[in-house]
Amino acid sequence: MEETVQTAELEDKVEPVAEAATTISVAGAQPSIAPDADSDQLKVTLGEFEGPLDLLLYLIRQEQVNIYDIPVARITDEYLRYLNLMQELDLTVAGDFLVMAAQLIELKSRMLLPRDPLAQEEEIEDPRSELVYRLLEHEKFKAAAQMLWSRATVEQAVFKRAEIETDTNNPEVAVGLFDLLRVFQQILARHKEEIMMEIEREEVTMAEMIDRLRNMVRSAGELNLMKFFERAQSRRELVVAFLSVLELVRLSEISLLQRETFGDIMATPVIPTPA
């Protein structure tokens, strides 16, 4: 099954879950599917669980065990039962959950290993301590998220004054680094659209253009594609030039090379390897 549940499949998937909810559950929690608010993907949520740490925390609370003394074997079994349940329900188990499963199984086997009899008592580190630390950290951040949520709620009840005259002669936007990149991408997209929209009579055929490119690359040994594109007389010709580059790359006659990010792209002839 694919990573994302397609919208079309949603109806098929939701029903069995809703039915199953009354009968199948692990440790009292039931899974559900919901559209992710942040994207158009559908997200599989197991109860309230955002990820494997959430699920683990839940199981630990449910089993009423001490977080500093986790019975690894028992919790691992519960965890795996849960993943099985997901698969039974034909839900995609996110990779993060599987990684945690592997870590738990490893931890479980390490707990079974006899301790080094020569090691000093204080030198023996509990193999669970890293996991415990991660769980506690995770829970703290969950609490912090709750705090942010309540702050935002209060803040949404506070209003600033409406725009006044003095604001309008200052139509500016605050800028961050990613704004710069986004804006640049927008320009490129806009540019591309303009090129696509122009339909003219053919001046140079594709075959002619491919020949031209092939000759230029061969004679120069290395061709700056920017230079090649700059020769184009019209937008249409530019498109043909671009397509011919793609074509020669596809035919493995040339290869493209960019020595640095955002640097010029160079085309070089591919030396045919003797068969």
Partner 1 sequence: MSPKAEAAVEELEAEPLDSSDAEVESTREIGATELKAIAEALIFVADEPISAKTIADVVKVDREAVETAIAELVEEYNTRNGALQLREIAGGWQIATRPEHHEQIRAYLRSRPSAKLSLASLETLAVIAYKQPVTVPEILEIRGVQSPSAIKTLLDKRLIIAKGRKETVGRPMMYRTSKEFLIQFGLKDLSELPSMEDFQDLAGGETQ
Binding mask 169-208 toward partner 1 (x if CB under 8 A, else -) reads -xxxxxxxxxxxxxxxxxxx-xx--x--------------
d(CA 232, CA 59): 65
For partner 1, give the closer residue by CB, 57 or 85. Answer: 57
Q: How far is CA 178 from each of CA 107, 116, 183, 184, 185, rounded to the nearest angstrom?
A: 41, 52, 8, 10, 10
Q: Is 38 in the site for partner 1 (CB under 8 A)?
A: yes
Quote the least distance from Cβ 236 to partner 1, whole Å.
16
Which residues 6+ apart lie within 8 Å of 32 measured at CB?
17, 21, 44, 45, 46, 47
Judged by CB under 8 A, the stretch of 85-93, 117-125, 152-160, 198-206 that binds partner 1 is 152-160
Distance from C-alpha of 266 to C-alpha of 223, rounded to nearest angstrom: 5
Q: Return the ∠ at Cα 106 (arms to 101 and 108), rounded to 5°.
A: 95
Task: Provide the 10 A C-beta neighbour count for residue 246.
Answer: 10
DSSP 48: T
Alpha-carbon dihedral sign for residues 55, 81, 23, 16: positive
Question: Min. distance of Cβ 68 from partner 1 in angstroms?
Answer: 8
Q: Is 2 in the site for partner 1 (CB under 8 A)?
A: no
For partner 1, which stretch binds (CB under 8 A), given 78-86, 129-137, 196-204, 247-255? 129-137
Q: How far apart are CA 203 and CA 224, in angstroms?
A: 23
Among 20, 27, 33, 67, which residue interacts with partner 1 (rule: CB under 8 A)? 67
State in angstroms the smallest separation of the CB of 189 from partner 1: 11
* CB of residue 142 to partner 1, shortest distance in Å: 6
107 or 210: whose CB is closer to partner 1?
107
128 with 67: CB under 8 angstroms?
A: no
Binding characters for partner 1, 218-257, by CB under 8 A (x = yes):
----------------------------------------
Copy the structure tokens of residue 118.
Answer: 């020569």
Q: Under the criterion CB under 8 A, does residue 138 sit at the interface with partner 1?
A: yes
Binding site for partner 1 (CB under 8 A): 36-39, 41, 50-54, 61, 67, 94, 96, 100, 134, 136-145, 147-149, 151-164, 166-167, 170-188, 190-191, 194, 261-262
